[in-house]
Chains A and B, each alone.
Chain A
């Protein structure tokens, strides 16, 4: 683009969002070039600049977002949407340059509906702020991922996020009633006034998980819940994971705990030992039950009797309470994997009967093909029909190539191996971190001919292909 045209577009964007909310400054470019994706972090750690946007815009509402998208469409400039930048899949990185649309100025609370039990807010609202708003009136959002404090409502919706009490309260896609979305051509639409209808497919679910490829979510109605009268924890040690799976499956036919986290023996011996203090062989499981006290009392009885049938050792409440207190500590620098290590979380989901097989197959595939990689896992989101595995690979810094391109090659090879193994054994590309640029190439392998549904939506809604190019395999 010529300097003349670049400046012309800049003035139009400034007109759309206000000059102070449109930047071409170095600080804004480099800040939006690195998210939580390991490759972007490694790139920066090696003193390299990631691909950067040419313009950074911060619209205040759907109208300003619409104006930006109309400009982008006219000039055919890529648009990448950025919420908090806490994503692990590179979904928010402006790999094609162009416009970076930061949503965080869209943070207004527009409705607090206590009868309908939801808060309507801008998609750029930091989720922790939404939690505070709910707490001020005695409610809770019950969406508590490790990135609660850093990520936005729109960010969680864009990649189908999940929190630690999901087994009882659901994923982010269970927590949204309606949304305002700006389509790539600038049209502002609203999904249905309520979900769970029979008026065709659920429009919410078309945009949730679309990672900014089909439009920009600008407002959402997010559910709130009564604060539980009490929340009780119980730690258990299983002899092996098979017993734990059987126990958990049976329990979930009876009621839903809020937290269920099963750690494989390797993670029990590493992270759990370090943070929670359990120093025993076996598979540690942490369970929380919560709600009305009388129900909690009954559920605890069912929990203890069910798990006893499978030989679980009752470790009492102390470990679980400690885990709850420290659940975010895991993710602060110095507690987690960090550079120069290479690491990644290849979370996937499958029905019971397959999920444990997937775990063993992935573990074998990673450890056989990449002996320099350590494989640890836990299972932290459970349903009546199945569960997800949160499996991580970790490569020590000494085994990570110093050449960044070689490091990328190894990183992508490990991911290909792990995710293809998951798919081959009945899993899905990803459970709750999304796809981004990291896994886009594997979407077609997952969906085969079904991918044309996504591609058709993309073609129709975004014929110029400006929205978050090279993400989600679109």
Chain B
């Protein structure tokens, strides 16, 4: 095993500590002791000591984590369980011990450039890409999740940008941001290659607006940590919308009550808990959940959903419970995976909309 010293040190720190158990969306949903940072750390520390092998169900367990960093955020000491989880994934992939489901996703990636396979055709989206094919200062980077599973939502976002008369470029085809390989394999050559290709694209523009927070996190945090930096201003979609509100997008404040589901990447890694709230406050009234902002609870992830579908739905259901308990009726999302999972588990009388849909309601 070629775990880094930092990885070993972190696993040894976490292996006997349960303090972040309560915040893990996966563990809370499954109720399984193995779905804790400490269980992964303990198993890896035993691997490091020759008392267990990194294969079979031990490897499967390191993939039963959404890398949402709730545990990292919660740790008073500053340990980061994502570190050893990612290194374990890399070791598993490189040693041929990755679970079958992960291997299949990686094979699909090798063939198509996306773990989800070929991008579905959508005439309206292609038309939009043709309308915005010209090179501008601003690239609107849609990302794999919306391109594969929610093109209609991406089209809503594009329509809003058009209404604001923003000049932007939309690509018919995009390279994947590197998030998918980073999630499944950690830091490998292939991951770096993907991030490098994406960074090269971003660098051709003055500003890149990321529709998906996870892609923004990959570009703004993960890639730079590996020495891959884009020469462009990298902006999340909520932050970009905030700059348009009241200027290019004149909204009329209504009586609607919105509750924002903070995407984990946006709130924690990118530390933006204010942009979406500023937007929603301009549109209507904000009603918070008990766990909001940096304490947000992940409610969906499309990669995890490929092999832990029921668990992802369970996570979304639990989030709905929390929202409903606080009297929330309209959840607003800024992440395709969460939009889809929350839509699939929506209780009667409640609704889930995207941030741009909330704005559209008030124009």
Contact = CB atoms under 8 A, between A and B. Distances in A.
A86 B19 CA distance: 9
B39 A136 contact: no
Interface size on B, as a range, is 35 or more
Nearest to A103: B31
B76 A335 contact: yes
A31 B34 contact: yes
A333 B22 contact: no
A48 B51 contact: yes
Contacts of A86: 18
Interface of B: 13-23, 28, 31-34, 36, 39, 42-43, 45-46, 49-52, 56-58, 60-61, 74-77, 79, 290-291, 322, 325-326
Given A34-B42, A332-B75, A104 B31 contact: yes
B50 to A, nearest CB: 6
A338 to B, nearest CB: 8
Contacts of B20: 149
Contacts of A47: 46, 49-51
B22 to A, nearest CB: 4
Contacts of B56: 25-26
A135 B31 contact: no
A27 B14 contact: no
A169 to B, nearest CB: 21
B39 A27 contact: yes
23 contacts: A25-B56, A26-B52, A27-B43, A27-B60, A28-B33, A28-B34, A34-B16, A44-B16, A44-B46, A45-B49, A85-B18, A102-B33, A104-B32, A126-B21, A129-B28, A132-B322, A136-B326, A149-B19, A332-B17, A332-B75, A333-B16, A333-B77, A339-B16
B309 to A, nearest CB: 13
Contacts of A328: 19, 76
A102 B31 CA distance: 9
Given A28-B34, A31-B43, A41-B16, 20 more contacts: A26-B52, A26-B57, A28-B33, A28-B57, A31-B36, A31-B39, A34-B15, A36-B18, A44-B15, A47-B49, A102-B33, A105-B31, A124-B31, A128-B22, A147-B18, A150-B19, A328-B19, A332-B19, A332-B75, A334-B79
Interface in A327-344: 328-329, 331-335, 338-339
A329 B76 contact: yes
A180 interface: no
A14 to B, nearest CB: 16
Contacts of A102: 31-33
B49 to A, nearest CB: 3
B49 A25 contact: no
A333 B17 contact: yes
Contacts of B325: 133, 136
Interface in A23-48: 25-28, 30-32, 34, 36, 41, 44-48
Closest 9 CB pairs of A and B: A150-B18, A47-B49, A105-B31, A104-B31, A25-B57, A333-B13, A149-B22, A128-B22, A334-B77
Contacts of B18: 36, 84-86, 147, 149-151
Interface size on A, as a range, is 35 or more
A126 B29 CA distance: 12
Which of B39, B74, B75 has the largest number of chain A CB atoms within 10 A?
B39
Contacts of A347: none
Nearest to B79: A333
Q: Is the interface of A mostly helix, strand, loop or mixed?
A: loop
Nearest to B321: A109
Interface in A130-164: 132-133, 135-136, 147, 149-151
A122 B170 CA distance: 51
B57 A333 contact: no
B14 A333 contact: yes
Nearest to A135: B290
A331 B46 CA distance: 23
Interface of A: 25-28, 30-32, 34, 36, 41, 44-49, 58, 82, 84-86, 102, 104-105, 107, 124, 126, 128-129, 132-133, 135-136, 147, 149-151, 328-329, 331-335, 338-339
Contacts of A335: 76-77
A259 to B, nearest CB: 19
Contacts of B22: 126, 128-129, 149-150
Contacts of B51: 44, 47-49
A407 to B, nearest CB: 16
Contacts of B28: 126, 129
Contacts of B291: 132
Contacts of A84: 18, 21
B21 A150 contact: yes
A66 B131 CA distance: 65
Which of B46, B50, B56 has the largest number of chain A CB atoms within 10 A?
B46
A334 B290 contact: no
A149 B295 CA distance: 14
A215 B221 CA distance: 50
A27 B77 contact: no
A48 B50 CA distance: 9
A103 B16 CA distance: 20
A104 B33 CA distance: 8
A44 B38 CA distance: 13
Contacts of B32: 28, 58, 102, 104
B328 to A, nearest CB: 11
B15 to A, nearest CB: 7
Contacts of A28: 32-34, 57
Contacts of A338: 16
B67 to A, nearest CB: 18
A58 B42 CA distance: 20
A434 B79 CA distance: 30
Contacts of B61: 27
Contacts of B43: 27, 30-31
A26 B58 contact: yes
Contacts of A45: 45, 49
Given A34-B16, A44-B46, A47-B50, A27 B58 contact: yes
B245 to A, nearest CB: 30
B249 to A, nearest CB: 34
Contacts of A124: 31
Given A58-B32, A150-B21, A331-B19, A44 B45 contact: yes
